[in-house]
Chains A and B, each alone.
Chain A
Amino acid sequence: MDWREEGILIGVRRYGESSVIIEVFFENRGRHLGVVRGGVSKKLTPMLQLGNQLDAHWKARLEEHLGSFSVDLVKSRASSIMMDRVALSGLSSICGLLNFSLPERESHSLLYKKTFELLDSITFKKKWLTDYLSWEITLLEELGFGLNLSSCVVTGALDNLKYISPKSGGAVSLEAAGDWSKRLLPLPNCLRGFDEGIEDLIEGLLVTGYFLENKVVASLGQKVIPGSRSRFIELIKKLTI
């Protein structure tokens, strides 16, 4: 068995003395693991940094085997952001969440494209914080816990949407919420596509965090959300002070 595809490196862990097991996110094959022999060498270490775009060639005797990768660097993203603490933290959060939530060898083409675009925005230092939030929403959608924020889940109203149902992930209008409003999550404007600044963005991240914590974690059993996400949010909070 062998194939070749371009992908984003989202995880590296030591395997034995001189090899590493890498996790690469591919457009057609999803999250895929494999051994890189000599992965701790001086030649390969700069290549095997999180976020880098790799041309990976996977080989194994049988499809279900772990297999081994031989890799070549297509685009180095890590080197451009080494000195940018927010970008580094964002990258760690993205890779951590992908590692934590994606099942192995299951294609998530839309999420791959969004991840690719987001990482490029981070690398080229564009305004990417709102893109990050939108990426988390896509992640939730791809995992089966999408938010439906276009209309009120109770009345179907399109206006005055102020809350999100923690159960269904649907928007709820102010009128429909009534006495239930205390049990609902606030709907920040950034989740409806408006850029209202960092504080609103943090509100948005708290909402996506709620669904990651209560829906995704629950579906994955014993796993916990990687600490890199909360450290990233803490760092953004400091930017507002």
Chain B
Amino acid sequence: MSLNKENDIERLISLMAKLPGLGPRSARRAVLHLIRKKSVLLNPLSEALRNVSANVRQCLNCGNVGSKDLCEICSDEKRHNGQICVVEGIADLWALERSSNFKGQYHVLGGVLSPLDGVGPEKLGIEKLKHRLSKEKINEIILALNSTIDGQTTAHYIADELQDTQTQITSLARGVPIGGELDYLDDGTILAALTARKSF
């Protein structure tokens, strides 16, 4: 009996060690902490995990995750303002949501074009985006993709694909980050910031 319990704990440690940011040692510490705080942490955590596991699904409209067929953002009428922000992944969507400034909807591509990884347009949600444009009233597509070669190649590809839809296509600005010091910026960022300068 006690051997089984030990196996359960070892199994939990090995599973926790697979999480990002955790290794075997930190997983062991986390599990020990959970065991010590059984009623405050372990039980609510296990219940939350069970609930998420039972209910989590991908939003049929935008590719976000939620507990219903349509995520909270897509089912909120107030967010149907004619803007769709295209992002690479859910982490990017969450980052934009944290800023609380964008009041439109999202579209999650699920990756970017990458010849090295064999990711072509067919593996991204571009057709789904086109379908959304044909059935929803959209005025603007905001391409919020990473400023990397793959990210920008994907942005240009999407812009080309949506050229015939007559929808305004914009992209995020590039330049000096808040708190950034010019001396520490790379050439590319300085170039982008200079190119996109505006009257003060």
Contacts and interface: CB of A to CB of B under 8 A. Distances in A.
Contacts of A88: 149, 152-153, 156
Contacts, number: 82
B132 to A, nearest CB: 23
Contacts of A73: 186
Interface stretch (A43-51, A62-70, A156-164, A173-181): A43-51
Interface stretch (A92-100, A105-113, A145-153, A191-199): A92-100
Given A79-B192, A228-B113, A85 B160 contact: yes
A95 B115 contact: yes
Contact of A17 (B20, B148, B152, B160): B20
A96, A224, A226, A227 — most chain B CB neighbours (10 Å): A227
Contacts of A82: 147, 149, 152, 174, 188, 192
B187 interface: yes
The bracket for how many chain B residues form the interface is 20 to 34
A238 B117 CA distance: 26
A11 interface: yes
Interface in B148-174: 148-150, 152-153, 156-157, 159-160, 174
Interface string A24-68: 000000000000000000000111011100000000000000000
B116 interface: yes
B20, B153, B195 — most chain A CB neighbours (10 Å): B153
A79 B189 contact: yes
B182 to A, nearest CB: 14
Interface of B: 20-21, 113, 115-118, 120-121, 147-150, 152-153, 156-157, 159-160, 174, 186-189, 191-192, 195
Interface of A: 11-13, 17, 23, 45-47, 49-51, 73, 76, 78-80, 82-83, 85, 88-89, 91-93, 95-96, 99-100, 224, 226-228, 231, 235, 238
